[in-house]
Each structure stands twice: as C-alpha cells, then as structure tokens.
C-alpha cells in the first residue's frame, strides 16, 4: 500500500508539471481524485488492510493528498499567469484576408476587349432588352423567320411599337450592328466590338439561358473578305497562341452575304487530326474546331443603318465568350452551367 501511494504521488506530480492548459490539468486531477479516480479507489481499499497499519498509512495518504492538491493549485496559477502574460511576436506573419478575383467570364471579356482595342476597335455594350427591329428586322430576317419563335427567343410581355415591333431579350450581339451605325450617324469608318449578355431559352451542359457574345463590325470603303480573314487570324493567334490558324467555311446567316463559320486549328493535335501515336484526335473534327459565325455585312443591313451599300462594305463576326474561353486549351469544362451557379469552390480554381 505504501508503495502504491508513492507511485501515484510521483506519477501525478509528473503529469501536473507537463500540463499546458487548465482544462488538461483539471482532467488529470480528476483522474486521481474524481469519484472513480485512482487515489479515491485506493482510499476505499483501506477497509481491507490490517487495523494496526491503518493510522500510519492514513497519515501518509492524507499528506500525499494535500501535497498533490497544493501542486495542482500552484500549477493552475502558473498556467493562468503565463496565458495573461503572453507576449506578442510581431515577426509572425499575419492572417491574410481571403483574396477574390474576377469571374472567369469577366477575365475573358477583358482579354477580348484588349486584343481588339489594339487594332482600333471601339468597345461598346448594347442592350440586353431590345426591340425586334434591332435583333431581327434590321438584320434582314423575314417576318416569318423561325428565330422569332417563342422557343428560340424570350419575348417580353409589353406592347409592341409600330416602328420597332416586339420587346425581347436580345438573342445575339448582332442587334448592336445597326445601333452602332446609328451611334456613328451612319458615317463610317466603323470598328466596333460589342460584348454583351445574350438570352436564349436553352439549358443543358453546353447552354445557359444567359450567355455572352462578342460581335465585331467593320464598315468602310473597300472592306473585303481578306480583312475579315486577317482579323480572324490575328485574334486566333493573340487569344489562343501563335501556332493557331483559322479557316472560313461557307455557311448561312440572314445578315451576312457571303456567310462563314470560322474554324480554328485544334490546340491538342495542332490541326493534324491525329495524335503523335497515330490515334484520332478526340477533341476536334479532323484538326479543326468551330469558333462561330461571320460574314460580309448584307447590303440590306447597311441600308437599315442608313449607310450606302454601293459606297461602303463591311464584315461582321459574332462568337460566344464562354465557348471561346472554353476552347482555350487547358480549360476542360464539361458543364457550362457551372459558370453561373456561383459555387465558390468551382470559381476560385481559375
């Protein structure tokens, strides 16, 4: 018994002195003196020892108990004092507040803006809420054209105007073409880059009902397809990299004639269509990726903007910002909707 008491005494003193917090210290104290603590249990065993030994052992146990209680209180005071005297180490690096950054679509818009402003394009941003006239009528769409269906365009429940027709959410940035001609008082040269929000009723992995387009419009004397092609090549090299090339593929739009789809060489197989190991490239169609629409401005569109189509010609192109950004190699986004669901865990990766 005597030995047991002294083992507990040594052990408890050591544990007390190693403590760094009052919570820890209290817990250790209870391990010995709580209802089922080891010291308490030892005292309960007193009834099993011969009566003649009890006074001596009892005295010893009481002494040790007092000693441990004193050690406990002293240690507790020491910890509390140390905490209040804690010095400030000014050399420890501070906690930096979390830093945000621009949304990836905003970053893409700024880059596109910068690339075109370097070759003299003026950045504009035309309306999200438009009239039929600017979105369709002035752009040579016949009255019964399917783009005016409810499942292609969002119409606003408002009274139509005789001159401008129905109110709608602009389905493409081409609605800025005639607006820009008007802003310029129908006097070329015009070099516009219109980057704005567009709306179409689509919701799937590659479409969101709101998206962005950038629309280029150049009108001047003597503008021809080579200017369009040169501008496309310039943009492709600036935005995607110097090794990229473009091609124009015949297509149809109401407001351009001739019309083209612009393709760019694939960034993975570099336009070859096959990978170095001879496998077919999975990212493109035979070496090419589709960027978006373009063409020479239709004479009817120039006329709608009160520009003489006999004197002036122009080219236009209109592409999706999200799509163009996604095509930049390295960004493999499998669902466009992620861009607009505002999940910070997704957005902060870029």
Per CB under 6 A, residues contacting ligand PHE are 172, 174, 215, 253, 256, 292-295, 316-318
We find the least distance from the C-beta atom of residue 271 to ligand PHE, in angstroms, to be 23
Number of helices followed by number of strands (H, E) in the chain: 11, 9
- Dig out the tokens for 312 from the structure: 């002036």
In the complex with ligand PHE, the residue whose CB is nearer, 172 or 191, is: 172
Q: Cβ of residue 90: shortest distance to ligand PHE, in angstroms?
A: 59
Write out the two tokens for 294. 């373009």
Torsion 18-23-24-26 (CA) sign = positive
Smallest gap, in angstroms, from Cβ of residue 118 to ligand PHE?
A: 21
Q: 57 or 215: whose CB is closer to ligand PHE?
A: 215
User: Among residues 293, 296, 174, 288, which one has the least CA distance to residue 227?
Assistant: 296
Of 239 and 319, CB closest to ligand PHE: 319
Cα→Cα distances 303→160, 167, 311, Å: 23, 22, 11
Q: Give the H/E segment covering residue 260.
A: strand 256-265
**Nearer to ligand PHE by C-beta: 61 or 261?**
261
Pick between residue 26 and residue 257 the one whose CB is nearest to ligand PHE.
257
Nearer to ligand PHE, 12 or 168 (CB): 168
Three-state secondary structure call for residue 75: helix
* Cβ atoms within 10 Å, residue 279: 9
User: Shortest approach of ligand PHE to residue 301 CB, angstroms?
Assistant: 10
The stretches of 147-247 forming alpha helices (DSSP H) are 176-183, 225-240
**Residue 30 in tokens:** 């209870």
CB of 292 to ligand PHE, least distance (A): 6
Q: How far is the CB of 198 from ligand PHE (least distance, A)?
A: 7
Instruction: Calculate the CA dihedral of residues 195, 201, 204, 210 and round it to 10 degrees.
Output: 30
The alpha carbon dihedral of 78, 83, 89, 93 has a sign of: positive
Residue given tokens 């503008």 in the structure block:
223
Q: How far is the CB of 98 from ligand PHE (least distance, A)?
A: 38
CA–CA separation, 67 vs 5, rounded Å?
12
- Within the chain, residue ranges assigned H as helices are 2-18, 22-33, 38-44, 54-84, 104-117, 132-135, 176-183, 225-240, 299-304, 321-327, 344-347
Least distance in Å: CB of 238 to ligand PHE? 19
């Amino acid at each position: 018994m005597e030995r047991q008491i002294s083992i507990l005494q040594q052990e408890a003193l050591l544990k007390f002195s190693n403590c760094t917090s009052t919570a820890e210290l209290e817990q250790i104290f209870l391990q010995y003196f709580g209802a089922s603590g080891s010291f308490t249990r030892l005292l309960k065993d007193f009834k099993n020892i011969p009566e003649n030994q009890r006074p001596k052992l009892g005295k010893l146990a009481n002494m040790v108990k007092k000693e441990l209680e004193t050690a406990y209180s002293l240690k507790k005071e020491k910890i509390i004092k140390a905490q209040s005297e804690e010095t400030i180490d000014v050399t420890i690096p501070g906690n930096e507040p979390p830093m945000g950054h621009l949304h990836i679509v905003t970053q893409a818009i700024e880059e596109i803006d910068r690339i075109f402003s370097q070759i003299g394009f003026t950045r504009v941003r035309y309306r999200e809420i438009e009239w039929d006239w600017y979105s369709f009528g002035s752009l040579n769409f016949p009255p019964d054209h399917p783009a005016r269906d409810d499942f292609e365009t969002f119409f606003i429940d408002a009274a139509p105007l005789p001159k401008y027709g129905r109110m709608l959410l602009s389905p493409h940035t081409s609605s800025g073409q005639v607006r820009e001609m008007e802003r310029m008082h129908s006097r070329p040269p015009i070099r516009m880059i219109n980057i704005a929000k567009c709306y179409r009723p689509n919701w799937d992995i590659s479409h969101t009902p709101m998206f962005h387009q950038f629309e280029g419009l150049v009108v001047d004397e003597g503008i021809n397809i080579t200017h369009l092609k040169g501008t496309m090549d310039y943009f492709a090299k600036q935005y995607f990299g110097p090794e990229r090339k473009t091609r124009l593929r015949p297509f149809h739009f109401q407001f351009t004639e001739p019309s083209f789809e612009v393709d760019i060489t694939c960034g993975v197989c570099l336009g070859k269509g096959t990978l170095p190991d001879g496998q077919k490239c999975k990212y493109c169609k035979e070496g090419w990726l589709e960027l978006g629409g373009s063409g020479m401005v239709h004479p009817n569109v120039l006329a709608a903007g009160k520009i003489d189509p006999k004197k002036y010609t122009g080219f236009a192109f209109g592409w999706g910002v999200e799509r163009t950004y996604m095509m930049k190699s390295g960004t493999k986004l499998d669902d466009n909707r992620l861009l607009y669901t505002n999940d910070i865990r997704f957005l902060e990766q870029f």
